């Protein structure tokens, strides 16, 4: 395995004094992990170096054709002061699946994990203490050829930046209102929906803007073929509690296989709830709501954690859920997941990687 070089910084930033005011993804630390790729040479020169701007030729491929993928995970501070990561191997495995779809060369997941552990170890004083706060970790790969031909780049940069953060939604655990999008679609069969491709997020922004103007926090996407089946929300997978059962759309190639989704399904079953992954039509969700059987709804994601949904609106019809409060199953799953992430509950599934 390649060694990881260390380039010391000569100046250091001031750390945030009030964790409550950090927001999400706005502050970055003193160092980052970087490695480069070149055809014939492979991934090389893994290093931890001072956080700094990249210099780019205006013709750089990623700026024109969007060959870029990313990941999101977190480091948590335990009450004993130690630090731990949640399922980082799953993020690097997913990143390599995204890489394959976007014609980006795969990387050695062990090197990436080693680099991440070293980076978090070096930056450990930046990991905030306090429930709801964490060090958000953003691994990214971009195409770097300065060339305007439309084909896969021959050079790439892999980097990991880290950001001390608070809650993703400013509302915290208060339920969010969601607009079911019936015009635009996010992903189609055979497309890149399952990959964490940067362009998926660019494609979602216009619908999110329109929904925000109408007072909604997020857009719920329907399938790109019939606009009939529930897919996911902008930055979260969706779960519904229908007639006592946890139900989530099955993985179909167009939704992101969320690591939180997978963890919540495992925890639901472990806690004794029935949990189903299947095709779920939006009509079924609304019919359940009209019949008083839509007990709870929530989104799952690394940044969003477990976010209760208080209201869903589709084609002019709105349904309230759980009386606009967090429901009991959502609460139990939130407490169990975050309990494991912050080290307050035992790691029963081998999900935790401790830094110290
Ligand atoms: N769906 C989308 C589109 C996302 O961006 C995310 C966030 O990463 C998720 C779902 C949830 O995935 P995970 O739980 O792995 O963070
Ligand atoms: C995450 O939950 O980590 C994400 O990547 C979602 C979003 C912030 C893009």
Q: Over the stretch 159-192, which tens digit does the pLDDT of each residue have? A: 999 999 987 877 678 899 999 999 999 999 899 9
CA distance 45 to 48: 10
Q: Is the pLDDT of residue 320 over 80?
A: yes
The CA 12 to ligand 1 mean position distance, Å, reads 32
Q: Is 88 near ligand 1, meaning CB less than 6 Å away?
A: no
Domain boundaries, the chain: 5-165, 176-341
Name the token pair of 197. Answer: 């491709």
Atom of ligand 2 nearest to the CA of 303: 2
3-state secondary structure (DSSP) of residue 218: strand
Distances (CA, A) of 94 to 44, 90, 115, 263: 21, 6, 17, 15
Query: In this structure, which ligand is nearest to the CA of 300?
Result: 1
Q: What is the per-residue pLDDT for 229?
A: 98
The CA 302 to ligand 2 mean position distance, Å, reads 6
Q: What is the pTM of this model?
A: 0.97
**Burial of residue 50, with CB atoms counted within 10 A of its CB: 0-12 exposed, 13-18 middle, 19 or more buried:** middle
Q: Is 256 near ligand 1, meaning CB less than 6 Å away?
A: yes
CATH code for 176-341? 3.20.10.10
Q: Is 299 near ligand 2, meaning CB less than 6 Å away?
A: no
Is the CATH code 3.30.470.10 the one for domain 5-165? yes
Q: Is 67 near ligand 1, meaning CB less than 6 Å away?
A: no
User: Tell me: the pLDDT tens digits for 187-239?
Assistant: 998 999 999 999 999 999 999 999 999 999 999 999 999 999 999 998 999 99
Q: What is the per-residue pLDDT for 84?
A: 98
Q: What is the per-residue pLDDT for 107?
A: 98
- 356 confidence band (pLDDT: 50, 70, 90): confident
Whether the CB-CB separation of 141 and 105 falls below 8 Å is answered with: no
Q: What is the per-residue pLDDT for 167?
A: 76
Instruction: State the chain's mean pLDDT as an integer.
Output: 96
Atom of ligand 2 nearest to the CA of 72: 3
- E strand spans, 93-190: 134-143, 155-165, 176-180
């Amino acid at each position: 395995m390649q060694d990881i070089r260390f380039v010391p910084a000569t100046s250091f930033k001031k750390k945030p004094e009030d964790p409550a005011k950090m927001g999400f993804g706005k502050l970055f630390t003193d160092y980052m992990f970087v490695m480069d790729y070149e055809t014939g040479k492979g991934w090389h020169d893994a290093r931890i170096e001072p956080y700094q701007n990249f210099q780019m030729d205006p013709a750089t491929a990623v700026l024109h054709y969007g060959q870029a993928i990313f990941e999101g995970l977190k480091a948590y501070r335990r009450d004993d002061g130690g630090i731990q990561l949640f399922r980082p191997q799953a993020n690097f495995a997913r990143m390599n699946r995204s890489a394959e779809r976007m014609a980006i060369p795969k990387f050695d997941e062990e090197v990436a994990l080693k680099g991440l552990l070293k980076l978090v170890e070096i930056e450990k004083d930046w990991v905030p203490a306090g429930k709801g706060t964490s060090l958000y970790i953003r691994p990214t790969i971009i195409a770097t050829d300065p060339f305007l031909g439309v084909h896969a780049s021959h050079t790439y940069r892999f980097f990991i930046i880290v950001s001390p953060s608070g809650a993703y939604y400013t509302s915290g655990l208060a339920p969010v209102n969601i607009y079911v999008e019936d015009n635009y679609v996010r992903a189609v069969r055979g497309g890149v929906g399952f990959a964490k491709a940067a362009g998926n997020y660019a494609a979602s922004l216009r619908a999110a803007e329109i929904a925000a103007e109408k007072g909604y926090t997020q857009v719920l996407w329907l399938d790109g073929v019939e606009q009939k089946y529930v897919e996911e929300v902008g930055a979260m997978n969706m779960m519904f509690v229908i007639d006592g059962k946890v139900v989530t759309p099955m993985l179909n190639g167009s939704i992101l296989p969320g690591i939180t989704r997978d963890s919540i399904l495992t925890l639901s079953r472990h806690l004794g709830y029935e949990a189903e992954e299947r095709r779920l039509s939006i009509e079924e969700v609304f019919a359940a709501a009209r019949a008083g059987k839509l007990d709870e709804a929530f989104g799952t994601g690394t940044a969003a954690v477990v976010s209760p949904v208080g209201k869903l609106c589709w084609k002019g019809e709105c349904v309230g859920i759980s009386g606009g409060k967090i429901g009991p199953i959502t609460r139990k799953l939130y407490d169990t997941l975050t309990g494991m992430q912050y080290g307050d509950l035992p790691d029963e599934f081998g999900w935790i990687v401790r830094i110290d």
